[in-house]
Amino acid sequence: MKDILYAPWRDEYINDKEIKGCVFCHISQHAGEDEELHVLYRDESCFIVMNRYPYTPGHFMIIPHLHTDKLELLPSEAWLHVSDLAQKCVRLLKEGFGADGVNIGMNLGIAGGAGIAEHIHMHLVPRWSRDTNFMTSIAQNRVYSTDFIRVYKKIKDLIPSYIS
């Protein structure tokens, strides 16, 4: 007998409109769709968006508007701004969202593990002392313990208190 894992939230992925070209450039260029695209914050240099398929609740990314796959070509001012936002977001995740820790990472290039290799982005993944369990080890699955939209709204409501 085959076990079935129901995942109704994946229906959106299957039936959603396909974005042509770079998904991050699409998000960058469509500020009027921030709610639909789950953008948490944007300014003239960067935007912060929820990871659509998060590793843990609250996993989001900081992304420069500039389309590049090479961190080494990102202007220093943009990199410093990404770093400044990362510091503020770590504080938000720990103080406002209740995370015990945060993983920060960038996967540069396909060989570096980037799912979207054509546009650099920094992941911030909130972590809790007991957020891992046997599912990852024996079933190659992660358990997402809460509603994605609820998490998006909570973090979006926290943004003005941590990013000015």
pLDDT tens by residue, 16-42: 667 788 999 999 999 999 999 999 999
Angle between helix axes 76-91 and 148-162 (nearest 10 degrees) is 110
The per-residue pLDDT for range 62-85, each reduced to its tens digit, is 999 999 999 999 999 999 999 999
Q: Which CATH architecture has domain 10-30+37-162?
A: 2-Layer Sandwich (3.30)
> Strands 39-42 and 122-127: what pairing?
unpaired
Q: In the predicted model, is pLDDT for residue 1 greater than 60?
A: no
Our answer to whether residue 121 is catalytic in this structure is yes
Sign of the alpha-carbon dihedral angle for 54, 58, 59, 64: positive
Output the pTM of the full model.
0.83
Q: Pick out the residues of the known binding site.
A: 51, 123
71, 79 in Cβ contact below 8 A? yes
Strands of the sheet with 101-105, listed across from one edge: 39-42, 46-50, 60-64, 122-127, 101-105
Q: Pick out the residues of the known binding site for substrate.
A: 51, 123
pLDDT at 19: 75
Residue among 59, 81, 119, 121 flagged as catalytic? 121
Cα-only R_g, the chain: 16
